[in-house]
Amino acid sequence: MSDLNKSTLTQITNLIKTKKISSLEVTKFFIKNIEKAKKLNTFITTCFEKSLKDAKNFDIKKNYNGLLPGIPLAVKDLFCTKNIKTTAGSKILENFIPAYESSVTNNLWLEGAIILGKLNCDEFAMGSSNETSYFGNVINPIGKNLVPGGSSGGSAGALAANLTPATIGTDTGGSIRQPASFTGTVGLKPTYGLCSRWGIVAFASSLDQAGPMTKNVEDCALLLEAMSGYDPKDSTSINKKKEQYSKNLNENIKGLKIGIPKEYRIDNMPKEIDNIWNKGIDILKKSGATIVNISLPHTNYALPTYYIVAPAEASSNLARYDGVKYGYRSKKGKNLTEMYENTRGEGFGREVKRRVLIGTYVLSSGYYDAYYLKAQKVRKLIKNDFDESFKKIDAILTPSTPSSAFKFGEKTNDPISMYLNDIFTVPVNLAGIPAISIPGGVDNKGYPMGLQLIAKALDEQKILNIALTMEKAINFKNSINRWWEN
Amino acid sequence: MSIDKSQVKKVAKLSRISLDDKNLDSLSNDLALILKFVEQLNKLDTNNVKPLNSIVDKSLEPRKDQVNDGKIKEEILKNSPDKNEDFFIVPKVVE
């Protein structure tokens, strides 16, 4: 039997299709890995009984037509899963069992995948280190004292530790790409509207997108193909034919024009990030691409814009948590209003409260124009920057994050320093365009750091192809010794 | 513009979030910091810029007004913290 700790999603898919291994064997292997990795705290819920039953069923039916035949997968606990607890990392949803399945996870199961469990994340996906989860910190498999990034920290951690052959996360301001960068894995935020938002616990609806998190680019293309597609249940879903990202994946990037935005060379950026970025530029040149220096003049305003738009949308999305129809309810309070206030006061964590309060403030009478409307206008300018650039170039190369993984507690006392983590990822969400993070190399501590490729809307294939080319040349290997199994 | 404690109290009330004095103090500090940070936007002249309301270049598609789901009353009620037969129970609202 081949070593499944060294196998990619695509390889396991082929092993199952060629009957070299059964779905049950693969499923049992990952369950064993998960059971040995409790220390990492990547899972909020496991459902092994169902996983094994589904695997056995697959092996009886032997339907190899799907893209993910008999593949066990764990998903971020922000996707509603029918009859399986879905918490969004929050106390307020501690016991919530959805009566429906999110469209994106449903797509995975229709392609033959099997659920392993639900992965830890920042509460309501609000965080960049997975330290805001009600269910505790996730430990980065790269090192005991390191955060995995966030908000899809459990997803990135489980993937890097090989507790799932691939996974899906959500990305509102960098929540797929930043943890991918911190764990030496690949993560893609698709074009807004490519993957359905139906059944995903909503954070900021104009920014939220689900996307694949994988060990390499080939897997990323496969999983994106499986999860994406038009969904009439999401009014912002793009109605177009499904792309065959896997089949069309190739390394021919000759003649492509790649932009290097000068605004992403920020002050105090570690020198190693610059080095990794320059190395990426060299690879692109050698592969026949043309490098073009560009300017995205409003980049510096992306983060402040995001911290108005996202909390504003969150404050209205989270109004539904009132302790009446589902979720946690406080026992304190003399009347309905007090019950609401106590439920939300006790049920939400600190970061969620911060954002709901900010959001309510910027939308409140007398402040709406000064904050929210202003932010919507600047958002337009940020989008215009990208639109103008993509008239001249095919893609943009930047670092994914301004640093490698940091230590627990290092940024928890200062919200702004935590928010700055997303400085390179947030502009993409504001513009609704796709971006992928791939491992670019390691810093002097040996921690992975990612490179980000950005394209115009619906140009996922282009950045996948460029990423594949760069991945081959960079030849990154994660040095993880499975220390948590001792 | 800066935010003071009484404004935070008001926003907490609007948000239906109870805050004790300790949390009120520290969240007021956080909020003041965050607002100062986002106020960088005031450096930009946006008088002639149209706000971006939606990233998707289409008007939302209406769907037919027909039932396509349902008959899961029990499953829905199962998640309620307090219920009685077919009703959600809340604290008394009428004296």
Q: State which fold the A9-257+392-485 domain adopts.
A: Amidase signature (AS) enzymes (3.90.1300)
pLDDT(A336) > 70: yes
Q: Tell me the average pLDDT across A245-259.
A: 97
Q: Tell me the average pLDDT across A206-214.
A: 98
Q: How many CB atoms lie within 10 A of CB A293?
A: 8
DSSP track, A222-244: HHHHHH----TTSTT----PPP-
Give the pLDDT of residue B55. Answer: 86
CB contact under 8 A, B82 and A315: no
Instruction: Please enumerate in sequence order all residues whose Cβ is within 8 A of that of A301, keeping only pairs 6 or more positions apart, or say none.
Output: A378, A381, A382, B40, B41, B44
Q: Which positions of A are catalytic?
A: 76, 151, 175
Bridge partners (DSSP) of residue A117 are A46, A74
- For B82, the 3-state DSSP assignment is coil
For residue B28, list chain A residues with Cβ-Cβ distance below 8 A. none
CB A251 within 8 A of CB A288: no
Domains (range + CATH), chain B: 5-43 (1.10.20)
For residue range A4-26, what is the model confidence (pLDDT) as tens digits?
Answer: 999 999 999 999 999 999 999 99
What is the C-alpha to C-alpha distance for residues A447 and A49, in angstroms, rounded to an integer? 36
For A352, the closest chain B residue by CA position comes to: B17
Query: A49-58, A123-132, A261-270: which range is least confident on average?
Result: A261-270
Give the pLDDT of residue A113. Answer: 98
CB A296 within 8 A of CB A386: yes
pLDDT(A160) > 60: yes
Q: Tell me the average pLDDT across A104-122.
A: 98
Best B55, B72, B94 member to test A by mutation, with max A CBs in 10 Å, is B55
For residue range A343-372, what is the model confidence (pLDDT) as tens digits?
Answer: 999 999 999 999 999 999 999 999 999 999
pLDDT(A52) > 70: yes
pLDDT(A241) > 80: yes
pLDDT(A174) > 80: yes
Output the CA–CA distances (angstroms, integers) from residue A264 to A231, A462, B42, in the order listed.
Answer: 35, 21, 22
CB contact under 8 A, A300 and B40: yes
Confidence of residue A1 (pLDDT cuts 50, 70, 90): low
Give the pLDDT of residue A266. Answer: 86
Q: Tell me the average pLDDT across A237-261.
A: 96
pLDDT(A422) > 90: yes
Q: Tell me the average pLDDT across A218-237.
A: 96
Give the pLDDT of residue B1. Answer: 57
Average pLDDT, chain A: 97
Give the pLDDT of residue B62. Answer: 80
ipTM for the complex?
Answer: 0.95
Burial of A347 by CB count in 10 Å (0-12 exposed, 13-18 middle, 19+ buried)?
buried
Name the residue ranges covered by the structural domains of chain A: 9-257+392-485
CB contact under 8 A, B18 and A375: no
- For A388, the 3-state DSSP assignment is helix
Give the pLDDT of residue A2. Answer: 65
Whose structure tokens read 């954002």?
A: A355
For residue range A26-39, what is the model confidence (pLDDT) as tens digits?
Answer: 999 999 999 999 99
CB A187 within 8 A of CB A197: no
- For A291, the 3-state DSSP assignment is strand
Interface A:B, Cβ pairs < 8 A: 167
Residues of chain B below pLDDT 50? none
Q: How do A290-294 and A257-261 pair as beta strands? A: parallel
- For A405, the 3-state DSSP assignment is coil
For residue range A397-414, what is the model confidence (pLDDT) as tens digits?
Answer: 999 999 999 999 999 888
Confidence of residue A142 (pLDDT cuts 50, 70, 90): very high
